[in-house]
A and B are shown apart, each in its own frame.
Chain A
């Protein structure tokens, strides 16, 4: 399984891989926000956590449609379907590699963007933590969408449409935890723990559902 993880990581970071594109998309989306809202630093600081979350959400959906489609196009998916290794595990490892290559970098550069949006250190730290806990859930939910859309010729946009409603809870708890860290009355821990619970829940459900969908879609 390590072999699959390393291969996917290599493919994502080598020329033409999607890892860099995702990060750039995140940068660009967040950078465009002030042009819409105006350069009012107080306002930016207030919407900061939400903007970072939405940017990260869109950026992590960006490369997901290729997760299984690339494997299907060159026939590797057929071979993967025939192995002794359970397909669920294959999907999980692919998700893990995808997250390492394109989710983790988003988390790591989010503090930098937080500075651009004039967020307080506490808010930046909280947003980074919630992103760390929440982006795996986005990848795992997205894997389901990618598996469902794998057989479609133009699945790319469809994946985003299928997945966005499903990731709403992640967004809700991620953003509210990030705000709870700054605004006094609300406690940080409950929404954060729920966010972790969602991630763990989809770590089980996501790969299983994706595996079923992949089996079904192989002609």
Chain B
């Protein structure tokens, strides 16, 4: 994902963890400031636009809920791309990227679920319905958590990465199947009714803050991801140095 957003020259730089750490160090302050700026603009827009005549103030929840949901799906896409990078091109940073995207993606998925249920309570009168979209999202959340648990359970980072990559890709392939089956399950039990909400056209009045917020959240995602990747590289370096310390003491 990120590779494309940077200059071609830096692709080789990216493959080298040391250069990546340096690059991340230079890039992070800019990304962080951009994120803060976008959030400032976005939040101002969120609260200055008019309330919807039908949904009232609750429409403002959408400005968080929808970007969070997009980011949750993008996070998994980033992980899937990284998993492909691990398995196919054996890119040394791909498994770092995959591992670090999981907690961030899980965070955004949780946010989407929470805001969704906070939106649903005044709109539908209940915190949670087993609607197809919500249910699929809940399954996505479980998949994220499972991956985090898998990453934590393995002490050998390299081996964990390959196994996790397989699981990520199987999950990715499985997403349409899950979506389809959940849709089928849902319509089997209850006709699509009240649960369809704001599906089609969004008033341009609401589109502007939504887009800015989506951009802000995307920047936030990449800032966090980059920082987490840098930390992960440090973590691996520490592990390598500790092993070396143990070996060094043995030869001494």
Does residue A21 face the partner (Cβ distance < 8 Å to B)? yes
Residue interface mask A86-129, B partner, CB < 8 A = 1: 00000000000000000000000000000110100000000000
Interface size class of A (residues with CB under 8 A): 10 to 19
Contact for A15 among B128, B152, B190, CB less than 8 A: B152
Nearest chain-B residue to A35 (Cβ)?
A: B185
Residue of A nearest to B126 (CB): A118
List the A side residues contacting B247 at CB < 8 Å.
none
Interface size class of B (residues with CB under 8 A): 20 to 34
Chain A residues in 8 Å Cβ range of B153: 15-16, 21
Are A118's CB and B128's CB within 8 A? yes
Q: A27-B142, A31-B142, A115-B127 given as contacts; is B155 within 8 A of A15 (CB)?
A: yes
Against A, the Cβ 8 Å flags (1 = close, 0 = not) of B126-140 are 111111000100110
Q: Given the complex of chains A and B, what is the CA–CA distance between A41 and B138 in angstroms?
A: 17
Q: Note all chain B residues with C-beta closer than 8 A to A34.
A: 130, 135
Tell me, yes or no, whether B117 is within 8 Å of chain A by CB. yes
A155 to chain B, nearest CB (A): 20
Q: 1/0 per residue A18-47: CB within 8 Å of B?
A: 001100100110010011001111001000
Tell me, in angstroms, the Cα distance from A131 to B99 when the chains sit together: 34
> Is B146 an interface position by the 8 A CB rule?
yes
Interfacial residues of chain B within 25-78, with CB under 8 A of chain A in the complex: none
State the CA gap A21–B129 with chains docked (Å).
26
> How close is B135's CB to chain A, nearest CB, in angstroms?
8
CB-nearest residue of chain A relative to B186?
A: A39
Q: Decide if B7 is an interface residue (CB 8 Å cutoff).
A: no
Contact of B149 among A20, A31, A38, A118 (CB under 8 A): A20
User: Is B189 at the interface (CB under 8 A from chain A)?
Assistant: yes
Given contacts A15-B155, A16-B152, A40-B189, contact A115 B129 (CB under 8 A): no
| Chain A residue nearest in CB terms to B132 | A39
Residue contact B152 to A20, C-beta cutoff 8 Å: yes
Residues of chain A lying within 8 A (CB to CB) of residue B130: 34, 39, 41, 44
Q: Given the complex, which residues of B lie within 8 Å of A44, measured CB to CB?
A: 130
Within the complex, the shortest CB–CB distance from A171 to chain B, in Å, comes to 25
B189 touches A24 (CB 8 A): no
Q: Are B155 and A24 closer than 8 Å at their CB atoms?
A: no
Question: Chain B, 144-179, contact with A by CB distance < 8 Å: what is the 0/1 string?
Answer: 011011001111000000000000000000000000
Interface string of B209-249 (1 = CB under 8 A from A): 00000000000000000000000000000000000000000
Query: In whole Å, how far is B220's beta carbon from the nearest beta carbon of chain A?
Result: 25
Q: Which residues of A contact B148 (CB under 8 A)?
A: 20
Measured in the bound complex, the distance between the Cα atoms of B129 and A163 in whole Å is 35
Residues on B with beta carbons closer than 8 Å to the beta carbon of A27:
142, 145
* Distance (whole angstroms) from the CB of A79 to the closest CB of chain B: 24
B189 to A116, Cβ gap below 8 A? no
Nearest CB of A to B162, in Å: 18
A177 to B28, CA, bound (A): 54
Scan B167-203; emit 1 where CB is below 8 A from any A CB, else 0.
0000000000000000001101110000000000000
> Within the assembled complex, what's the spacing in Å between the Cα atoms of A5 and B188?
50
CB of A62 to closest CB in B, whole Å: 12
A40→B188 CA distance, assembly (Å): 11
Q: Which of B86-137 contact A (CB under 8 A)?
A: 117, 126-131, 135
State the Cβ distance, A96 to closest chain B Cβ, in Å: 23
The verdict on A28 contacting B142 (CB below 8 Å), with A16-B153, A21-B149, A39-B190 known, is yes
Q: Which 5 residue pairs are nearest across A and B when measured between Cβ atoms? A: A39-B130, A38-B189, A115-B127, A34-B130, A15-B152
Could you jot down 9 A-B contacts, CB within 8 Å? Answer: A15-B153, A15-B155, A16-B153, A16-B155, A20-B152, A24-B149, A34-B135, A39-B135, A118-B126
Residues of A within 8 A of B (CB): 15-16, 20-21, 24, 27-28, 31, 34-35, 38-41, 44, 115-116, 118
Knowing that A20-B152, A115-B127, A118-B126 are A-B contacts, what are 20 other residue pairs whose CB atoms are under 8 Å apart, sorted by A's residue number?
A15-B152, A15-B153, A16-B154, A20-B148, A24-B145, A24-B149, A27-B142, A31-B138, A31-B139, A34-B130, A38-B185, A38-B189, A39-B129, A39-B130, A39-B135, A39-B189, A40-B189, A40-B190, A41-B129, A116-B138
